[in-house]
C-alpha cells in the first residue's frame, strides 16, 4: 500500500521527466524491441513447422499472426492476444487444428516460464531478491489431497463420457509438441531464437534505463524483465499498474518512486506503441489491405 500511495503522489512529477530522455538509447531500445518480435515469431514458426512436416509453414504469415497477437495482448485481459495468434495462424496453415497450434505456442510459453523461474531463483540465491516466504509444512495438506481426489474423479468421468473426442484432441495437441521429441531440432531451430529474444528484452530495459539516466546495471534490467513478465499474469490488459508497482520494487534504493514510475510507464507505453504499430501493419499485410479498419474487421 505504501508503494501504491507513493506512486499516486508522485505520478504528476514523474511525467515531467519524459522530455529529458536520451534519444540515442531509445533508438537502440526500439531496434531491440523489433528484434524481440522477430526472434519470437521465428521460434514459434519453427515449432509449427516441426508439427506440420509435410507442408510449408510460411514464416511471413506466422510472423504476422504473432505480431498481431502481441499487439492484442496490450488491450485484451488475461493475455487474450494468445487466442488471436492461434486463430490467425490457424487461418494461414491449411489442414491445421486449433489444438495443434495452441500446443505449439505452449512450447514457446513454457520455455519463457522456465527461464523466468530460473532467473528468479538465481537472483534470490545471489541476494538480489528478499527471502521467499516459508510455506506451512502440513497445514494445507488435507485440502490439497481433497482437491486432487476431486480432480481425479472429475477427470475419470470426463474421459468415460468424452473419451473418443478427448483422444482426438490429445492426438492433435501432441502433434504440436513434435519438436520436443527431437532435442537436436529443438536446440537448433527454437532455443537459440528464444534466448536471443530474451537478450533483446533485457537490452530494451537496459537502454530505456540508460535513457532515463538510471544507473541500475544489468542485473536490475534482468529483474525488471522477469517482473514485467509476471505482471502480465494480472487479469488486466498489458498488466497495467502492476508493472509500475513491480518496477518501483525492483528499483527501490536506486531511484525515487516517481523516477521508477516514469521509467516503467514510459517503457510500457513505448513498447505498446511499437507492438501496436507492428501488429496493425502485420494484419494489413496479412489481409492485403491498406485500410486499418478493414484489416481489423477482416481479422475479427
Distance CA 121, CA 15 (A): 34
Tens digits of residue pLDDT in 193-238: 999 999 999 999 999 999 888 887 888 888 888 888 777 666 566 5
Q: Where are the domains of the chain?
A: 2-130+162-299
Burial pattern 259-282, b for ≥16 Cβ within 10 A else e, equals: bbbbbbbbbbebbbebbbebbbbb
User: Residue 74, SS3?
Assistant: coil
Q: Give the percent of the chain with pLDDT over 90.
A: 29
Q: Give the percent of the chain with pLDDT over 70.
A: 72
Tens digits of residue pLDDT in 91-106: 888 888 889 999 999 9
The DSSP letter of residue 130 is: P
Grid cell of 108 as nine digits: 514457446
Instruction: Provide the 10 A C-beta neighbour count for residue 202.
Output: 21
Find the range with the poorest average confidence among 68-72, 117-121, 232-236: 232-236
CA of residue 140 relative to chain centroid, distance: 31
Q: Which of 41, 47, 82 is nearest to 60 (CA)?
A: 41
What average pLDDT is seen over the chain?
79
Q: Which of 171, 182, 166, 170 is nearest to 49 (CA)?
A: 182
Place of cell 513447422: 49
- Is 50 exceeded by the pLDDT of residue 7? no
What's the pTM value of the predicted model, to 2 decimals? 0.81
Tens digits of residue pLDDT in 36-69: 999 999 999 999 999 988 888 889 999 999 999 9
Amino acid at each position: 500500500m505504501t508503494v501504491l500511495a507513493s506512486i499516486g503522489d508522485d505520478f504528476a512529477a514523474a511525467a515531467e521527466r519524459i522530455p529529458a530522455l536520451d534519444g540515442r538509447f531509445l533508438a537502440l531500445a526500439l531496434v531491440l524491441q523489433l528484434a524481440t518480435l522477430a526472434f519470437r515469431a521465428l521460434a514459434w514458426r519453427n515449432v509449427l513447422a516441426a508439427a506440420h512436416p509435410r507442408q510449408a509453414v510460411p514464416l511471413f504469415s506466422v510472423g504476422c499472426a504473432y505480431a498481431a497477437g502481441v499487439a492484442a495482448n496490450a488491450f485484451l485481459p488475461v493475455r487474450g492476444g494468445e487466442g488471436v495468434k492461434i486463430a490467425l495462424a490457424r487461418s494461414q496453415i491449411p489442414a491445421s487444428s486449433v489444438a495443434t497450434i495452441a500446443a505449439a505456442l505452449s512450447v514457446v510459453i513454457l520455455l519463457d516460464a522456465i527461464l523466468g523461474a530460473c532467473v528468479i531463483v538465481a537472483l534470490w540465491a545471489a541476494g538480489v531478491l528478499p527471502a521467499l516466504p516459508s510455506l506451512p509444512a502440513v497445514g494445507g495438506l488435507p485440502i490439497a489431497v481433497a482437491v486432487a481426489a476431486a480432480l481425479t474423479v472429475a477427470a475419470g468421468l470426463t474421459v468415460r463420457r468424452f473419451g473418443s473426442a478427448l483422444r482426438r484432441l490429445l492426438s492433435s495437441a501432441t502433434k504440436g509438441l513434435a519438436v520436443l521429441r527431437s532435442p537436436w531440432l529443438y536446440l537448433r531451430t527454437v532455443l537459440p531464437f528464444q534466448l536471443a529474444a530474451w537478450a533483446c528484452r533485457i537490452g530494451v530495459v537496459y537502454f530505456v534505463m540508460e535513457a532515463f539516466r538510471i544507473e541500475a546495471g544489468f542485473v536490475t534490467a534482468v529483474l525488471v524483465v522477469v517482473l514485467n513478465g509476471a505482471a502480465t499474469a494480472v487479469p488486466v490488459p498489458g498488466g497495467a499498474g502492476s508493472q509500475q508497482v513491480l518496477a518501483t520494487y525492483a528499483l527501490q534504493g536506486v531511484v525515487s518512486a516517481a523516477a521508477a514510475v516514469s521509467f516503467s510507464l514510459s517503457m510500457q507505453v513505448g513498447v505498446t506503441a511499437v507492438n501496436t504499430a507492428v501488429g496493425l501493419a502485420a494484419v494489413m499485410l496479412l489481409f492485403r489491405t491498406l485500410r486499418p479498419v478493414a484489416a481489423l474487421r477482416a481479422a475479427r
